Amino acid sequence: MDPRIDDPGTLPRDGREHRLHPLSWLFVLVAQLKQFIVPLVVLLFAGRGDRNDLWGLLAMGALVVASLAQYLTYRYQLGRDAITIRSGWLHRSRREIPFARIHNVSLQQSLLHRLAGVAEVRLESAGGIKPEAQMRVLRMDQALALEALVRRRGQAAGSEVAADAAPAAPLLTLSTPELVRLGLISNRGMLVVAAAFGVLAQAGDDVFRVVVERWGKLAFGWLTRTIGAHAHDSPLAIGLATATLLVAALVAVRLLSVALAILQYHGFALREDDGRLLVERGLLARSRSSARRRRIQAWSLREGVLHRWFDRRSLRVDTASGQRGREAGVHALKDIAPIATPARCDALLAHFLPGMGWDTLDWQPLHRGAWWRIALPGLVVVLLATGLLALRFGAWGALGLLAVPLQLWRARRIADACGWACNGRLVAWRSGWLSKAWNLAEIGKLQAVRLSQSPLDRRLGMASLLLDTAGATPFGPPLHLRHLPREAAEALSARLVTQLAGRRLQW
């Protein structure tokens, strides 16, 4: 994927309608097969008669016809400021998408796409679940040209900058050692293993016991020979087998994570071009997504324990497009720095938020009693558990109270680590003690503000402030400033709303 091939000449711009790539139907078919794989497999393998094979073939045939029909009816036309897409045969639709409204352009290439030299293009606007248009598939050079066209025409003010200038050097690339670190830190393999465990648990009753016993026999054959014929049943052998199996599994999961990280992030490059951020990545399946800088709604910087060991952080952004989509995580621009040194992350933030004063923020502490409030839920659990232990084991159960100072100390550390800052352009919230996070947004990107107090908060004189932005993940609000002194929270809320009311929304 050479970004230099963005000569618009490769796009048919004669004002007439055009079809997609002639091989489109094949990729539509592949996508449909992925959806219908389960019923198809059932049809093909469930029965043993010829009739069932026939039904399977018929279903396949129907899918092929549907794919061909989709290819034959899908037309696009490039206008001056909009792309018009006509599709459907019985149910026809015609959709006009102004370039200025397109928030995100993403190009996806699986291995099959790469062999055929084509790419799948998605055009996304703000909100919504499905992309505005999903062009499956365009020739690679045409896809890149379309992306460049959207980039150039999307400039609302129509400022014709020197768009054909050579692409800037990447702002961030990841070398292989970085990818290895990313894999070790992110532990992506765990997801795969969890899925595999689920399948295994479904497969049979005693899979785990059988695995442990087999491993025991295999790895401790020498033990069997030295101790006796039935050593594989002895608790020692089984214990050793379980322990080594666990260690082997942990190592395997980490190795798998590294492999996945390399697969997903090989050749990662973050570029900025004409005010657009562009991220390319992938070893076998390449993906390329871009979004305009000002369309980024919020930023978050993360540093877990493993990150800290390797002296790294990761930087993510929220864009407003496809926020609720099932595939949003896959296609939207999200990880602009999957892994980078803290200094590099700060430099990137300073680069993308120039003059916002990210590095000179004046961090304010939480309410003085916040640590007590943070400790409380944990304390209740500890006391309940101690009570239960005391009922069961008598006086020894009181040892559970040892967790109380631990919990208080932990809450104290968390309260010390949290803080908020607002300098009139940016509002930021940092949280976490072992695993830290910094969330920030430009004030102009805030949409609504909620101040809340629980009865306990009121007694202690504190309040929490939720600053909501578009495109935040529905799981866990990023800018939830908790346990602030009440006056500070009220003042911040009033200040932000006053500032917002006078400024129109800049998507």
Task: By CB under 8 A, name the one of 35, 176, 435, 454 that touches another protein.
Answer: 454
Task: By CB under 8 A, name the one of 8, 267, 378, 477 that touches another protein.
Answer: 477
Q: Are 249 and 166 in contact (CB under 8 A)?
A: no
| 503 near another protein (CB under 8 A) | yes
| 128 near another protein (CB under 8 A) | no
Picking from 412, 335, 427, the residue whose alpha carbon sits closest to that of residue 379 is 412
Written as one letter, the residue type at 155 is Q
Nearer Cβ to another protein, position 142 or 493?
493
Q: How far is the CB of 451 from another protein (least distance, A)?
A: 4
Q: Is 437 helix (H, G, I), strand (E, B) or coil?
A: strand
Report the C-alpha gap between 454 and 348 in whole angstroms. 38
| 471 near another protein (CB under 8 A) | yes
| 253 near another protein (CB under 8 A) | no
Tokens encoding 450:
């909620």
Size of the site for another protein (CB under 8 A): 35
| 491 near another protein (CB under 8 A) | no
Report the C-alpha gap between 111 and 93 in whole angstroms. 31
**Of residues 433-452, which lie at the interface with another protein (CB under 8 A)?**
446-452
Q: Are 472 and 297 in contact (CB under 8 A)?
A: yes
Q: Are 293 and 277 in contact (CB under 8 A)?
A: yes
**Of residues 43-82, which lie at the interface with another protein (CB under 8 A)?**
none
Q: Are 443 and 425 in contact (CB under 8 A)?
A: yes
| 12 near another protein (CB under 8 A) | no
Task: By CB under 8 A, name the one of 144, 441, 472, 492 that touches another protein.
Answer: 472
**Of residues 295-334, which lie at the interface with another protein (CB under 8 A)?**
320, 323
| 425 near another protein (CB under 8 A) | no
* Torsional sign, CA 472, 477, 483, 486: positive
Q: Is 43 helix (H, G, I), strand (E, B) or coil?
A: helix
Report the C-alpha gap between 107 and 135 in whole angstroms. 10
Nearer Cβ to another protein, position 286 or 445?
445
Nearer Cβ to another protein, position 361 or 492?
492
Q: What angle do CA 32, 33, 39 make, to 5 degrees?
A: 110
* Torsional sign, CA 205, 209, 213, 216: positive
| 470 near another protein (CB under 8 A) | yes
**Of residues 88-107, which lie at the interface with another protein (CB under 8 A)?**
101
Task: By CB under 8 A, name the one of 126, 133, 145, 328 that touches another protein.
Answer: 126
Identify which range of 41-49, 158-166, 239-247, 461-469 contacts another protein by CB under 8 A: 461-469
Task: By CB under 8 A, name the one of 8, 12, 127, 369 that touches another protein.
Answer: 127
> How many C-beta atoms lie closer than 10 Å to residue 264's C-beta?
21
Report the C-alpha gap between 205 and 378 in whole angstroms. 37
Nearer Cβ to another protein, position 234 or 499?
499
Which stretches of the chain bind another protein, using CB under 8 A? 101, 126-127, 320, 323, 446-455, 458, 466, 468-474, 477, 493, 497-498, 500-505, 507
